[in-house]
């Protein structure tokens, strides 16, 4: 593969093997013989992985071409995709905006047409946010549905591996490779969707609502626990990242934004964590109650336009990007981000959230949403 200068900040190594679908792999996922640095200079001296992560092994087994490893926000602990060590991937359709994180390279590679699909990870929106920023499809499965064996960090109560693609059909094709019991599901008849009417800027809500209404009967609803779930998710990811990466802090090799976030995370107390776990239980029950009456919950993936690369120099200002995504990592429900239009020259993405274990049904519903791909008819 020959990369243009604009795309050289996406791929780290590759290609490796296969002659089927071309799939890029995020740098926190083991590829045998390659160093899994998770986008960080602090992990660059790790020994090469002895074997493929489970997701990579399954893709190889299905005949996929592992097109290469792609860059990411350092240690998967950021949402802009800005990385001062590996370089920041250019957002192909919206080059003035951030590519989103942490799976920035995965999204950019798909959006640029360099691969058919990519695998990323999502702990607080890290598949859905970059998919929304780059105007493509990104899917976070039900927590635990896809194996995390061979991922960095090794342990997480929030994180999921999942695919990016330019169509829902391609997402389903990859999921059938990753999940042994994946079952083709027919398009739903007369689906009902609960639309979160207060979950974004008005221009974005208008476009997202129209996209949802084109495929389902929508009812305006609210999730009162959404904001509390966002804060609880931040506390849990903070504690888990601190537990995983605290030894890296003193080496002087972690980028400033992630270094500062890790130090802040070190102050999450056991009491904070206990409170966050209580919110997890309450919010999960709240979502379950809503999904007892509806086929899916719908809301914008991003509540506002993605920030510019210039604005992304303030990492704290980017955290609201995850306000509509992180809560569903906390609850463990599957969620898919779908490009549905533009507002003010920025992409608009619709997020659908489904029942736990109902990943196939959620994708079947997502098939019916009209997609918007900048510069083409999807």
pLDDT at position 45: 96
For the segment 111-132, the average pLDDT, to the nearest whole number, is 97
Known catalytic membership, residue 26? yes
Active-site residue, selected from the candidate residues 9, 26, 40, 140:
26
Mean pLDDT of 324-346: 98
Tens digits of per-residue pLDDT, 241-276? 999 999 999 999 999 999 999 999 999 999 999 999
Q: What are 202-222's pLDDT values in tens digits? A: 999 999 999 999 999 999 999
| Residue bearing tokens 């009967």 | 217
State the pLDDT at residue 6: 59
- Domains identified in the chain and CATH numbers: 5-229+270-377 (3.90.1300.10)
pLDDT tens for 25-84 read 999 999 999 999 999 999 999 999 999 999 999 999 999 999 999 999 999 999 999 999
Q: How do residues 63-79 score in pLDDT, each as one tens digit?
A: 999 999 999 999 999 99
Q: Is 4 among the catalytic positions?
A: no
Catalytic residue among 40, 104, 126, 331: 126
State the pTM of this model: 0.96
Q: Is the pLDDT of residue 1 over 70?
A: no
Residue partners of 281: CB distance under 8 A and separation at least 6: none
126 is catalytic: yes
pLDDT tops 50 at residue 378: no
Q: Looking at 40, 102, 331, 349, which residue is catalytic?
A: 102
**Which is nearest to 324 in space by CA: 167, 140, 128?**
128
- Which pLDDT belongs to residue 18? 57
């Amino acid at each position: 593969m020959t990369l243009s200068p604009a795309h050289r900040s996406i791929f780290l190594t590759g290609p490796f093997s296969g002659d089927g679908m071309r799939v890029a792999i995020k740098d926190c996922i083991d590829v045998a013989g390659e160093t899994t640095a998770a986008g960080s200079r602090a992990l660059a001296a790790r020994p090469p992985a002895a074997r493929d992560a489970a997701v990579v092994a399954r893709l190889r087994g299905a005949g996929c071409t592992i097109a290469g490893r792609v860059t990411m926000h350092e240690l998967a602990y950021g949402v802009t995709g800005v990385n001062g060590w590996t370089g920041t991937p250019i957002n192909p359709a919206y080059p003035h905006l951030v590519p989103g994180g942490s799976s920035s390279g995965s999204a950019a590679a798909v959006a640029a047409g360099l691969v058919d699909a990519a695998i990323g990870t999502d702990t607080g929106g890290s598949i859905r946010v970059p998919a929304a920023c780059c105007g493509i499809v990104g899917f976070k499965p039900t927590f635990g549905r896809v194996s995390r064996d061979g991922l960095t960090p090794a342990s997480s109560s929030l994180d999921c591996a999942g695919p990016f693609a330019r169509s829902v059909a391609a997402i389903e094709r990859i999921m059938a490779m990753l999940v042994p019991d994946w079952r083709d599901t027919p398009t739903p008849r007369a689906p009902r969707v609960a639309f979160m009417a207060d979950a974004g800027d008005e221009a974005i809500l208008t476009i997202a609502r129209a996209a949802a209404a084109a495929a389902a009967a929508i009812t305006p609803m609210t999730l009162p626990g959404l904001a509390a779930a966002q804060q609880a998710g931040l506390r849990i990811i903070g504690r888990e990242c601190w537990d995983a990466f605290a030894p890296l802090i003193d080496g002087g090799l972690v980028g400033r934004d992630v270094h500062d976030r890790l130090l802040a995370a070190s102050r999450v107390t056991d009491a904070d964590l206990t409170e966050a776990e209580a919110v997890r239980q309450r919010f999960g029950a709240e979502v379950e109650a809503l999904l007892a009456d509806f086929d899916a919950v719908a809301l914008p993936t991003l509540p506002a336009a993605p920030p510019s690369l210039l604005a992304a120099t303030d990492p704290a200002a980017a955290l609201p990007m995850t306000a509509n995504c992180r809560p569903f990592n906390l609850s463990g429900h599957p969620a898919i981000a779908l490009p549905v239009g533009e507002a003010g020259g920025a992409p608009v993405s619709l997020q659908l959230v489904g029942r736990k274990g109902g990943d196939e049904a959620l994708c079947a519903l997502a098939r019916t949403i009209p997609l918007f791909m900048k510069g083409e008819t999807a």
